[in-house]
C-alpha cells in the first residue's frame, strides 16, 4: 500500500478506540463535517510543518508554506500525497519535534481525503489499477502442470520473486530482468523435452498419437487448441498464422515438422500472452472502469484459488458468457475449493500473510534449542496450513484464526506443545487444547519462532507482528539514531523488560512501544521456538500487561481474549490482506470503500471464510478494471 | 507423470557424481586450461556487506602510503596492503531519510550504486536509478558474451515487510538495469557456471542449432509483444518494455556469438570444478561465488560484476565463528562491548573471504600482469555504524590497480560529505564508460592515481 496511506482509517479507528472507546467506521462519507483550509488546517501546518518546510529553508526539498489556497494545493497533488503518507505513518513531524494531537491529525487527514484528493465512497466504487503482472514462480509451475501435464518444477532455477505488500505476485514488483527471460527459454525447452518424451501426455494434450508423423493439418489444429489454453482466451487467427509461419520457416530450413511444432510451442511458452496476465481496456488511456471480460474473469478466479490457469468448466462458462449469471460464481468457488488444487490457496495465502516462509531461514540457536530441527521447522508451517485449510473448507469464522481450542499436530509438534501424544505419528491430526494456553495463529509455534532472534525472544518483533498482521495498525518505523536519544548516553541495563521500560521512558519511543511491548511481553511465556515456559533464567516470567485503551491482561490467554475483542480490526486487516492476494496489487486510498463494505457484510454473516472469498470475487476490484491509476471519471 | 530426463536433470546427475570437495578442485584451476593471453581489459566489480562495520577498527589514523592498518584490515588484508586503497569520508546522502522517514537499509543498498533516493513504496511505482555497474555493462559489455553478472547469497526475504514501507526489491538488489528494473541476483553457483560455460554434454553443433531456433522464436514473440504494446496503457507498457528489453538483450547476445563479435572464452575450466549446487555453509557458498567471478573474469566472459554478500538488514547468525545472535540485531549494539566484539568478528569473517578472492585474482597471470592488477574491486557498505545508521564515513575499499590507472597502497581521506558516487564516476571513466554525472555525484574523485 502506498506507504502507509492504509493506516489512515484504521489509525483513526485506533485513536478513537483509545480516546473514547467508540467503534466507528473508517469510511469518509459525504456526511463528515468539511474542514476548512484556512480555519482548520493552516494553523496545524503552521505550527508543525512550516518551520522546516518553508521557502527559505526547504528541508528535503519540500516547501509547504507557498500555497495560498486549496486550488494551488490540488495542482501539486503528488507532493501532498507524500505529506499525507508521512503524517499517517507518523514519520513527520520527526522525532523530537512536537506532534499534532490525534484530533488535529484527524482533521488534517479528513481534509486531505475529502478536499485535496476528493475521495468519497458515494457512487460507483473504484476498482483500482492492476499493473500488468507476469506469472510468478508458483503460478508458472502450476500453469505448466495444467497446460501440459509436466511437473518437473520448471521454475526452480528462476530468480526469487520480490515481495511487495507482503506478497510475491504483485504486478508492480514483479520485474523481468534479462536473466529471467533466459531462464524462461531454458525452462520451456526442458518442459517441451519432457513433454514430448511422454507419449501419453502428448496424446492427452495434443490429441496426437504419434508426434513424429504429425501433418501440417495436425499442427494447425494444435496451434489453435493449445493456444486457447496457453493464452487463456481464444487465440486469434493472426496469432495462429504467426505460429505457422515460424514453424514453416524452420521446416524450410530443414527441420522436421515435429521440430517446427516444438519451436512454435516454445514461442507460445515465452510469449507475453502466456507469461503475463494480460487484460485489455477499451481505452488504454482512460481512468474509467469497466468489467473485465469473461476469460479475464475466469483467469482471475483460477489464479486466486489455484494459482493456475482455468480448467475446462471455467473456460466453458467464459465461452458461454455465464460467469456473471446469478449463483454461478458461488457454485464455482465451492467447486474450486473442493479441488485438490485449492491447496495452493490454503498454503500460499497463510504462509505469506503470517510470514511463515521466513521459517525456512530462521536460525534458532542449536545449543539452546536442541529440539528445533528441519522437521519441526516444516511441522510448524504445516500446522498453520492445515489450520487455515480446515477453517476454509469447513467455512468457519475467520475469528477462529484469532482464538480456538484446537489445532493440527503430529507427535513431534504435539510434544513441542507439551500435549500428550500416544505413540508416534508423523501424520497430522486435529488436537484439542485443554489448558487454554494456546489457540489461534498468534500462539502457534511458527509465528512465535519467526518473530524471535536466534538466541532470545523479541517482544518488540512479536508486538509489531501482531499490530501489522492481526490488528492492521502497523507502528511507524522508529526514529533514526534512536539509541542516542537516551539522555545519559549510557548503555541500557537490566532484564529485557527493565531495559525496554527504560527505553519507553523516552517519550519519543513511548507512544508506539507501549502497545508493541505490552503484546510482546504478553507472549513471553513462549520461548524463541514457541515452547511454553514459566521461567526464564530461573526467574518467573510476568506475562501481564495492559493494552492502552483496551484493557489489562494477566496472561497469554487473556491477551488473546483482548485481541478477540478487536474482531472488527482483525476482520479489516484480514480482508485487506486477502483482497491484496486476490488482485495482485497493493491497496490504495479508494479501496477502503470496498474493504469497509466487505467487512460490514462479513460481520453480519458471522465472519464466515467462504462468504468472504465469495464477496471478494464479487467486489469491484475483482470484477472490474481500469487502464490508468487516478480518480474515477 | 513419470519424471523425464531433461537437460537440468542430466546436470543434476553430473553434479552429484562430480561433487568433489570444491575448494580443492578450485585450487587446481590455475594449472588447467590454456595459458592466459595478454589482455589489457579492465574489470570492475562491487561487493556489498550489510549493516555497516565496526568503524573504530576499520578507519586508519594516518593517511597516505605509510598508514597502519587497524585491527579489522590488519588481521585480514595485510597481505594486500599494497593492492588496496582505503577510502574514508565518502557519503551516501541518498540513503538518508531526506524526509522519507525510516528505511535506511532499503535505501542503502538501492542507492549504493545509483546515488538516487529510492521512492518509498511497497510496490507501486518502484523507482531507484540506473546503477554504475549497469552503465559500465552497457558500454564494455558489447565486447564480452555477458554484459554483467549479478550474484548474491540470500534469496531475498520471502514474506512480509523488508524495511519500513519499502518494497523488498530495494533491500535485495544492488544492480539496477533501469530506474524500475532491478537485476535479479543468481544465488546458485552451479547455475552461474552453467550460464558461463554452457551445459555439459551438448555438442557445439547442437548448441548452434538450439540458438538458431531460439532466435527465430524470439523474433516471433517480439512481434506478439509489439502488437500487444499498442493496446496497453502507460503503466502496463513499462512492464512489457522490460520483457521486450530482455528479449532484445538475448537476441543481441545470440547475434554476438553468431557473428563472432565476441571472442570465445579465454579458457575453459575443467569439468571437475563444475559446482553441484548451493554449498551447505555460508563460507563455502560465498567463496564459491567469488570463484565464479574469478572464472568469468579470467575467461573474459564478462568484465562487470556485482555481489551482494548478504541482503541489507540481514539477520544471519554466524555460529561457525561463535556468533549466535543475528547480524542486524547485533548491529543495533547500543554501545554494548560484547556486541561490538561480535560485530567485529562478523566484519572480519566477511573480509577474510574477500581476502580469499583477492588471493585468487592475484594468482592469475594476465600478460605480464595479474587479474587483480587489471581490476577495480570496490568493497563496502552503505551504512557506517549499524547502530546509528549513519551514511557518511562509509567503509569503502578499492582493490586492484585498474590496469595501472590506480595508485594503490594508500589511505585517502576525503572532505566531509564527499559523494560516494564520485568514486563510481572515476571508476566508470577508467573502465571506458565515462558519464558526466551519476546520482548525486559532484565530480570525479581526486587522488586515485
Chain A contact for B199 (CB, 8 A cutoff): no
Residues A144, A22: one domain?
no
Residues A266, A352: one domain?
no
Of A257, A277, A297, the residue that ends a domain is: A277
Residues A78, A158: one domain?
no
Interatomic CA distance for residues A310 and B254, integer angstroms: 35
- The nearest alpha carbon in chain B to A503 belongs to B334
Residues A112, A237: one domain?
no
Q: Which of A152, A171, A179 to mutate to test the interface with B (most CBs of B within 10 A)?
A: A179
Chain A contact for B126 (CB, 8 A cutoff): yes
Tell me the DSSP string of A56-122.
SSBGGG---TT--SHHHHHTTHHHHHHHHHHHHHT-SSPTTSPPPPHHHHHHHHHHIIIIIS---SS
Burial class (CB in 10 A: 0-12, 13-18, 19+), A360: middle
- The nearest alpha carbon in chain A to B245 belongs to A178
pLDDT class of A367 with cuts at 50, 70, 90? very high
Residues of B in contact with A357 (CB under 8 A): 158-159
| Interchain proximity A477–B336, CB inside 8 Å | no
For residue A215, the model assigns a pLDDT of 82
> B340 to chain A nearest CA, in Å?
12
* Phi, psi (rounded to 5 degrees) for A13: -60, -45
Chain A contact for B228 (CB, 8 A cutoff): yes
Chain A contact for B322 (CB, 8 A cutoff): no
Who among A86, A198, A585 is closest to B2 (CB)? A198
Classified as helix, coil or strand, A359 is helix
> What does the buried/exposed string (b/e) look like for B143-180 if buried means 16 or more CB atoms within 10 Å of the residue's CB?
bbbbbbbbbbbbbbbbbbbbbbbbbbbbbbbbbbbbbb
Asked if residue B304 lies in contact with residue B149, where contact means CB atoms within 8 angstroms, the answer is yes
A442 CB contacts (<8 Å, ≥6 apart)?
A402, A466, A470, A523, A560, A563
Residue with cell 524450410: A252
* Phi, psi (rounded to 5 degrees) for B366: -140, 110
Question: Which run of H or E residues covers position B75?
Answer: helix B71-77
Residues A265, A319: one domain?
no
Chain A contact for B156 (CB, 8 A cutoff): yes
Quote ipTM for the complex.
0.85
> B377 to chain A nearest CA, in Å?
23
∠ Cα B27 B29 B34 (to 5°): 160
Residues of A in contact with B277 (CB under 8 A): none
Residues 363-392 of B with CB under 8 A from A: 387-389
Q: Which of B103, B128, B160, B167 to mutate to test the interface with A (most CBs of A within 10 A)?
A: B160
Residue with cell 551447505: B280
Chain A contact for B207 (CB, 8 A cutoff): no
- What value does the mean pLDDT take over residues A483-504? 61
Closest to B294 in 3D by CA, of B21, B48, B15, B26: B26
Residues of A in contact with B158 (CB under 8 A): 160, 163, 168, 352, 357-358, 360-361
Mean pLDDT of chain A: 87
| Interchain proximity B319–A92, CB inside 8 Å | no
Residues of A in contact with B103 (CB under 8 A): 477
Question: Which run of H or E residues covers position B45?
Answer: strand B43-48
- What value does the mean pLDDT take over residues A599-621? 96
Residues of A in contact with B173 (CB under 8 A): 162
Closest to A5 in 3D by CA, of B165, B415, B349: B165
| Interchain proximity A129–B235, CB inside 8 Å | yes
B105 half-sphere exposure, CB direction, 13 A CA radius: 29
Reported as a single tens digit per residue, the pLDDT across A415-435 is 999 998 877 788 999 999 998
Tell which wins on pLDDT, A254 or A482: A254
Helix ranges (DSSP H) in B161-233 = 168-172, 189-197, 204-229
Structural domains for chain B = 18-197+268-431 (3.40.720)
C-alpha cell recorded at residue B349: 569473517
Closest to B295 in 3D by CA, of B195, B443, B441: B195
Residues A358, A344: one domain?
yes
Who among B101, B122, B240 is closest to A477 (CB)? B101
| Interchain proximity A177–B184, CB inside 8 Å | yes
Residues of B in contact with A61 (CB under 8 A): 98-99
pLDDT class of A21 with cuts at 50, 70, 90? very low
Residues A230, A283: one domain?
no
Residues A383, A515: one domain?
yes
Residues A316, A338: one domain?
yes
Who among A2, A242, A365 is closest to B220 (CB)? A242
Reported as a single tens digit per residue, the pLDDT across A83-95 is 887 787 666 887 6
Residue with cell 495465502: A349
- The nearest alpha carbon in chain B to A493 belongs to B336
| Interchain proximity B158–A163, CB inside 8 Å | yes
Residues 285-314 of B with CB under 8 A from A: none
Q: Please write down the HEC assignment for all residues of A550-568.
A: CEEECCHHHHHHHHHCCHH
Chain A contact for B97 (CB, 8 A cutoff): yes
Q: How far is CA B65 from CA A8, A194, A611, B403, in A?
A: 57, 61, 73, 19
Burial class (CB in 10 A: 0-12, 13-18, 19+), B251: middle
Closest to A452 in 3D by CA, of B338, B326, B320, B50: B326
Q: How many CB atoms lie within 10 A of CB B2?
A: 9
Residues of B in contact with A165 (CB under 8 A): 122-123
Tell me the DSSP string of B283-307.
HHHHHHHHHHHHHHHHTTS-SEEEE
Residues A225, A324: one domain?
no
Who among B159, B180, B316 is closest to A352 (CB)? B159
For residue A494, the model assigns a pLDDT of 67
> A93 to chain B nearest CA, in Å?
10
| Interchain proximity A454–B225, CB inside 8 Å | no
C-alpha cell recorded at residue A139: 503460478
Asked if residue A271 lies in contact with residue A231, where contact means CB atoms within 8 angstroms, the answer is yes
Domain, as residue range, for A236: 133-277
Residue with cell 585517502: B412
Query: What's the predicted TM-score (pTM) here?
Result: 0.85
A374 CB contacts (<8 Å, ≥6 apart)?
none
Question: Which run of H or E residues covers position A7?
Answer: helix A7-20
- The nearest alpha carbon in chain B to A149 belongs to B1
Reported as a single tens digit per residue, the pLDDT across A169-208 is 999 999 999 999 999 999 999 999 999 999 999 999 999 8
Who among B177, B218, B326 is closest to A453 (CB)? B326
Tell which wins on pLDDT, B358 or A23: B358
pLDDT class of A549 with cuts at 50, 70, 90? confident
- What value does the mean pLDDT take over residues A571-581? 96
Interatomic CA distance for residues B236 and A280, integer angstroms: 10
Residues A420, A564: one domain?
yes
Percent of chain A with pLDDT over 90: 64
Chain A contact for B281 (CB, 8 A cutoff): no
Chain A contact for B177 (CB, 8 A cutoff): yes
Q: Which residues pair with A457 in a beta bridge?
A: A452
| Interchain proximity B221–A267, CB inside 8 Å | yes
Q: Please write down the HEC assignment for all residues of A393-453.
A: HCCCEHHHHCCCCEEEECHHHHHHCCCCCCCCCCCCEEEECCCCCCCCHHHCHHHHHHCEC
Interatomic CA distance for residues A322 and A341, integer angstroms: 23
Interatomic CA distance for residues B246 and A187, integer angstroms: 16
Residues of B in contact with A363 (CB under 8 A): 316-317, 319, 326
Reported as a single tens digit per residue, the pLDDT across A243-264 is 999 999 999 999 988 999 999 9
Residues 26-65 of B with CB under 8 A from A: none
Of A236, A255, A277, the residue that ends a domain is: A277
Interatomic CA distance for residues A261 and A247, integer angstroms: 6
Chain A contact for B134 (CB, 8 A cutoff): no
> What does the buried/exposed string (b/e) look like for A190-212 if buried means 16 or more CB atoms within 10 Å of the residue's CB?
bbbbbbbebeebbeebbebeebe
For residue A34, the model assigns a pLDDT of 67
User: What averages of pLDDT result for each successive group of 10 residues across chain B (449 residues)?
Assistant: 39 37 37 39 97 97 96 98 97 91 91 95 88 96 92 78 82 93 93 84 84 95 95 93 94 85 82 90 97 96 97 92 92 90 97 98 93 97 92 97 96 97 97 96 95
Interatomic CA distance for residues B162 and B177, integer angstroms: 21
Sign of CA dihedral A342, A347, A352, A353: positive
> Largest Cα–Cα distance of chain B, in whole Å?
68
Asked whether residue A60 carries a pLDDT value surpassing 90, the answer given is no
Residues of B in contact with A260 (CB under 8 A): none
| Interchain proximity B228–A273, CB inside 8 Å | yes
> A25 to chain B nearest CA, in Å?
25
Total tally of structural domains belonging to chain A:
3
Interatomic CA distance for residues A401 and A391, integer angstroms: 8
Of A66, A83, A116, the residue that ends a domain is: A116
Residues 337-366 of B with CB under 8 A from A: none
* Phi, psi (rounded to 5 degrees) for A544: -80, 165
Q: How far is CA A446 from CA A556, A563, B342, B447, in A?
A: 16, 19, 28, 54
Interatomic CA distance for residues B26 and B364, integer angstroms: 13
- What value does the mean pLDDT take over residues A499-513? 72
Residues of B in contact with A3 (CB under 8 A): 120-122, 165
Residues A257, A295: one domain?
no
Maximum mean pLDDT: which of A112-121, A292-301, B254-263: A292-301
Who among B121, B124, B217 is closest to A267 (CB)? B217
Q: Which of A134, A174, A175 to mutate to test the interface with B (most CBs of B within 10 A)?
A: A175
- The nearest alpha carbon in chain A to B164 belongs to A477
| Interchain proximity A491–B233, CB inside 8 Å | no
Whether the bond between A112 and the residue before it is cis, its omega within 30 degrees of 0, is: no
Residues of A in contact with B387 (CB under 8 A): 483
Amino acid at each position: 500500500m502506498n506507504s502507509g496511506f492504509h493506516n489512515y482509517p484504521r489509525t483513526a479507528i485506533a485513536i478513537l478506540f483509545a480516546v473514547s472507546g467508540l467503534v466507528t467506521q473508517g469510511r469518509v462519507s459525504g456526511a463528515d463535517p468539511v474542514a476548512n483550509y484556512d480555519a482548520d488546517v493552516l494553523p496545524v501546518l503552521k505550527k508543525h510543518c512550516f518551520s522546516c518546510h518553508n521557502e527559505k529553508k526547504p528541508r528535503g526539498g519540500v516547501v509547504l508554506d507557498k500555497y495560498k489556497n486549496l486550488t494551488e494545493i490540488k495542482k501539486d497533488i503528488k507532493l501532498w500525497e507524500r505529506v499525507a503518507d508521512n503524517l499517517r505513518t507518523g514519520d513527520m513531524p520527526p522525532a523530537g519535534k512536537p506532534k499534532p494531537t490525534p484530533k488535529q491529525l484527524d482533521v488534517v487527514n479528513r481534509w486531505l481525503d475529502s478536499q485535496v484528493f476528493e475521495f468519497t465512497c458515494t457512487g460507483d466504487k473504484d476498482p483500482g489499477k492492476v499493473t500488468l503482472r507476469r506469472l510468478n514462480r508458483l503460478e508458472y509451475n502450476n500453469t505448466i502442470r495444467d497446460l501440459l501435464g509436466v511437473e518437473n518444477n520448471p521454475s526452480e532455477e528462476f530468480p526469487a520473486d520480490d515481495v511487495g505488500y507482503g506478497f510475491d505476485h504483485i504486478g508492480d514488483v514483479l520485474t523481468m530482468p534479462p536473466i529471467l527471460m533466459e531462464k524462461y527459454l531454458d525452462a520451456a525447452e526442458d518442459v517441451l523435452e519432457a513433454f514430448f518424451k511422454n507419449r501419453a501426455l502428448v496424446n492427452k494434450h495434443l490429441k496426437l498419437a504419434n508426434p513424429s508423423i504429425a501433418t501440417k493439418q495436425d499442427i494447425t489444429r494444435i496451434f489453435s487448441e493449445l493456444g486457447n489454453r496457453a493464452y487463456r482466451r481464444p487465440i486469434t487467427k493472426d496469432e495462429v498464422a504467426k505460429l505457422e509461419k515460424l514453424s514453416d520457416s524452420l521446416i524450410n530450413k530443414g527441420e522436421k515438422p515435429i521440430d517446427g511444432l516444438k519451436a512454435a510451442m516454445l514461442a507460445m511458452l515465452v510469449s507475453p500472452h502466456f507469461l503475463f496476465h494480460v487484460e485489455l481496456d477499451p481505452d488504454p488511456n482512460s481512468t474509467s472502469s469497466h468489467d473485465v471480460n469473461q476469460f479475464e474473469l475466469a483467469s482471475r478466479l483460477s489464479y486466486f484459488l489455484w494459482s493456475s490457469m482455468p480448467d475446462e468448466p471455467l473456460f466453458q462458462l467464459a465461452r458461454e458468457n455465464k460467469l456473471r449469471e446469478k449463483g454461478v460464481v458461488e457454485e464455482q468457488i465451492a467447486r474450486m475449493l473442493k479441488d485438490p488444487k485449492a491447496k495452493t490457496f490454503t498454503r500460499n495465502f497463510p504462509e505469506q500473510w503470517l510470514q511463515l516462509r521466513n521459517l525456512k531461514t530462521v536460525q534458532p540457536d542449536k545449543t539452546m534449542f536442541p529440539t528445533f530441527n528441519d522437521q519441526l521447522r516444516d511441522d510448524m508451517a504445516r500446522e498453520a496450513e492445515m489450520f487455515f485449510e480446515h477453517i476454509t473448507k469447513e467455512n468457519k469464522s475467520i475469528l477462529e484464526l484469532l482464538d480456538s481450542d484446537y489445532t493440527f499436530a503430529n507427535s513431534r509438534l504435539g510434544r513441542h506443545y507439551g500435549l500428550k501424544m500416544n505413540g508416534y505419528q508423523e501424520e497430522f491430526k486435529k488436537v484439542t487444547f485443554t489448558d487454554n494456553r494456546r489457540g489461534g495463529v498468534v500462539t502457534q509455534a511458527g509465528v512465535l519462532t519467526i518473530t524471535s532472534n536466534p538466541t532470545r525472544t523479541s517482544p518488540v518483533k512479536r508486538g509489531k507482528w501482531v499490530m501489522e498482521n492481526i490488528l492492521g495498525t502497523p507502528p511507524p518505523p522508529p526514529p533514526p539514531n534512536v539509541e542516542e536519544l537516551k539522555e545519559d548516553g549510557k548503555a541500557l541495563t537490566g532484564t529485557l523488560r527493565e531495559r525496554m521500560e527504560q527505553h519507553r521512558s523516552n517519550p519519543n519511543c513511548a507512544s508506539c512501544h507501549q502497545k508493541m511491548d505490552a503484546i510482546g511481553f504478553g507472549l513471553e511465556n513462549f520461548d524463541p521456538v514457541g515452547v511454553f515456559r514459566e521461567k526464564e533464567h530461573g526467574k518467573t516470567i510476568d506475562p501481564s500487561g495492559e493494552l492502552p485503551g483496551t484493557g489489562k491482561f494477566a496472561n497469554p490467554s487473556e491477551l488473546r481474549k483482548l485481541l478477540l475483542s478487536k474482531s472488527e480490526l482483525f476482520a479489516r486487516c484480514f480482508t485487506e490482506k486477502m483482497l491484496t492476494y486476490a488482485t495482485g496489487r497493493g491497496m490504495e486510498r479508494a479501496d477502503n470503500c470496498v474493504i469497509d463494505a466487505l467487512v460490514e457484510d462479513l460481520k453480519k454473516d458471522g465472519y464466515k471464510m467462504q462468504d468472504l472469498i465469495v464477496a471478494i470475487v464479487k467486489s469491484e476490484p475483482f470484477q472490474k478494471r481500469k487502464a490508468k491509476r487516478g480518480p474515477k471519471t | 507423470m513419470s519424471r523425464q530426463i531433461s537437460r537440468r536433470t542430466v546436470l543434476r546427475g553430473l553434479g552429484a557424481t562430480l561433487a568433489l570437495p570444491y575448494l580443492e578442485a578450485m585450487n587446481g584451476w590455475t594449472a588447467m586450461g590454456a595459458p592466459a593471453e595478454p589482455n589489457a581489459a579492465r574489470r570492475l566489480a562491487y561487493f556489498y556487506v550489510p549493516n555497516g562495520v565496526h568503524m573504530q577498527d576499520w578507519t586508519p589514523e594516518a593517511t597516505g602510503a605509510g598508514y597502519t592498518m587497524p585491527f579489522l584490515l590488519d588481521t585480514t588484508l595485510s597481505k594486500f596492503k599494497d593492492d588496496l586503497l582505503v577510502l574514508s569520508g565518502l557519503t551516501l546522502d541518498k540513503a538518508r531519510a531526506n524526509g522519507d522517514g525510516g528505511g535506511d537499509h532499503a535505501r542503502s543498498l538501492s542507492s549504493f550504486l545509483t546515488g538516487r533516493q529510492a521512492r518509498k513504496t511497497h510496490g507501486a511505482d518502484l523507482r531507484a536509478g540506473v546503477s554504475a555497474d549497469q552503465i559500465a555493462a552497457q558500454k564494455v559489455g558489447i565486447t564480452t558474451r555477458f554484459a554483467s553478472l549479478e550474484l548474491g547469497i540470500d534469496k531475498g526475504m520471502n514474506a512480509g515487510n523488508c524495511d519500513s514501507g519499502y518494497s523488498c526489491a530495494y533491500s535485495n538488489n544492488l544492480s539496477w538495469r533501469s530506474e524500475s528494473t532491478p537485476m535479479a541476483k543468481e544465488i546458485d553457483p552451479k547455475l552461474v557456471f552453467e550460464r558461463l560455460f554452457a551445459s555439459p554434454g551438448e555438442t557445439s553443433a547442437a548448441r548452434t542449432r538450439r540458438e538458431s531456433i531460439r532466435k527465430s522464436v524470439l523474433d516471433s514473440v517480439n512481434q506478439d509483444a509489439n502488437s500487444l504494446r499498442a493496446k496497453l496503457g502507460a503503466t502496463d507498457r513499462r512492464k512489457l518494455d522490460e520483457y521486450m528489453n530482455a528479449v532484445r538483450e538475448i537476441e543481441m547476445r545470440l547475434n554476438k556469438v553468431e557473428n563472432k563479435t565476441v571472442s570465445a572464452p579465454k579458457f575453459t575450466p575443467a569439468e571437475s570444478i563444475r559446482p553441484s549446487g548451493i554449498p551447505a555453509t555460508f563460507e563455502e557458498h560465498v567463496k564459491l561465488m567469488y570463484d565464479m567471478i574469478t572464472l568469468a573474469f579470467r575467461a573474459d566472459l564478462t568484465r562487470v560484476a556485482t555481489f551482494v554478500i548478504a541482503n541489507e538488514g540481514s539477520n544471519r547468525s554466524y555460529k561457525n565463528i561463535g556468533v549466535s545472535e543475528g547480524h542486524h540485531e547485533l548491529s543495533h549494539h547500543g554501545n554494548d562491548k560484547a556486541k561490538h566484539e561480535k560485530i567485529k568478528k562478523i566484519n572480519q569473517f566477511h573480509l577474510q573471504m574477500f581476502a580469499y578472492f583477492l588471493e585468487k585474482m592475484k594468482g592469475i597471470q594476465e600478460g605480464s600482469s595479474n587479474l587483480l592488477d587489471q581490476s577495480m574491486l570496490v568493497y563496502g557498505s552503505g551504512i557506517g555504524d549499524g547502530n546509528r545508521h549513519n551514511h557518511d564515513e562509509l567503509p569503502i575499499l578499492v582493490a586492484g590497480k585498474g590496469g595501472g590507472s590506480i595508485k594503490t597502497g594508500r589511505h585517502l581521506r576525503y572532505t566531509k560529505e564527499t559523494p560516494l558516487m564520485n568514486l563510481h564516476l572515476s571508476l566508470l571513466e577508467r573502465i571506458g564508460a565515462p558519464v558526466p554525472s551519476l546520482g548525486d555525484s559532484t565530480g570525479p574523485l581526486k587522488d586515485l592515481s
